[in-house]
Chain A
Amino acid sequence: MLSCKQVATIASDYLDKSTPLKWQIRLHLLMCANCRRFVRHLKITQQVGAKLIIKETTEDAEAVWKNLQARLKTEAQSNKE
């Protein structure tokens, strides 16, 4: 049977449904309250992550666009020379 350390190491793979050890983990979780709590907390953390909003930069798309135009112009000029 898997140990708690092994379950903790691959718990994200279990939540992401990308481990071939799904049934071994389930068996362990049936018998281990600590790991059940650990996996539940990890799942909550994952759900919190999904709701996080990365602070958007206030950079104006127009400014980026103008910068881009300026770069293209400079490149075109240096290519001519």
Chain B
Amino acid sequence: MASVKLLPVAQTAMRNSPQPTTSNRMSTTTSSDESELIAQLVRGDDHAFRQVIALHHSLMLNIARTIAGDVFADDVVQEAWVSVYKNIATFEQRSSLKTWLLTIVSNQAKARLRKESRQLSLEQLDGETAGSYLDGGNFKADGHWQLPIPQWNIESPDALLEEQQLQHCINRTLNLLPPTQKAAFILRDIEQQSFEDICTILAVSAANVRVLVHRARLTLMQVIDRYQETGSC
């Protein structure tokens, strides 16, 4: 029974696959290496499959968590691997293997959400948080800032990341972001995926991906702002 449900997920992923991109930083293989790896997977090479699991399982789990929640994430990713195993021979390589895997896990997670009759969080572009930079209260009637933007004492990203307390604040905030924002932020700013690939993976429009990434950045910027001012979260 399970295979009947799994196949369309992978097929949808393949239909939606964009042209190959090389923008993500996790990609440790060249396209020819990747083609060889895919050929090994198609031949049923267990070692190659273990290698792909070791490379991508963590990120797939992160994406599943942001879409389907902690409770279902493990199962969703396992289902995704089953789907990958069964459908690798039909993967046309119109996208990178990583994008294909993430699209499958994203579709699987959304399917699980629908099955559990929970609200599809991906469709929510959570409203603007009160107190954020874009809060109307921060601007005068003519659209100019009410108050000056505070200076930062530390402006080097490396120096900022050396601050243990700030790292803790950022990690905590990242985990508190609405799921869709978190997924978009991880894929764009941490994994350096292209906007086109993120649209495919999360099945949201390019405009919405941009809004989600912007909101997540603004939230983290506020964390850094507060840290610069108070030394705490």
Interface residues of A (CB under 8 A from B): 3-6, 8-9, 11-13, 16, 18, 32, 34-35, 37-38, 40-42, 44-57, 59, 61-62, 64-65, 67-68, 71-72, 75, 78-79
Contacts and interface: CB of A to CB of B under 8 A. Distances in A.
B195 A18 contact: yes
B157 A56 contact: no
B224 interface: yes
B134 A54 contact: no
A19 to B, nearest CB: 9
A6 B134 CA distance: 9
B49 A65 contact: yes
A51 B1 CA distance: 43
B143 A5 contact: yes
Contacts of A72: 82, 85
B31 interface: no
Contact of B78 (A13, A57, A67): A67
B53 interface: yes
**Chain B at the A interface: mostly helix, strand, loop or mixed?**
helix
A58 B213 CA distance: 27
B81 interface: yes
B186 interface: yes
B190 A45 contact: no
A50 B193 CA distance: 11
Contacts of A59: 57-58, 61
A52 B190 contact: yes
B218 A42 contact: yes
10 contacts: A12-B214, A35-B145, A37-B149, A41-B152, A44-B157, A46-B217, A54-B62, A54-B190, A56-B58, A61-B53
A5 B136 CA distance: 8
A34 B220 contact: no
Nearest to B213: A12
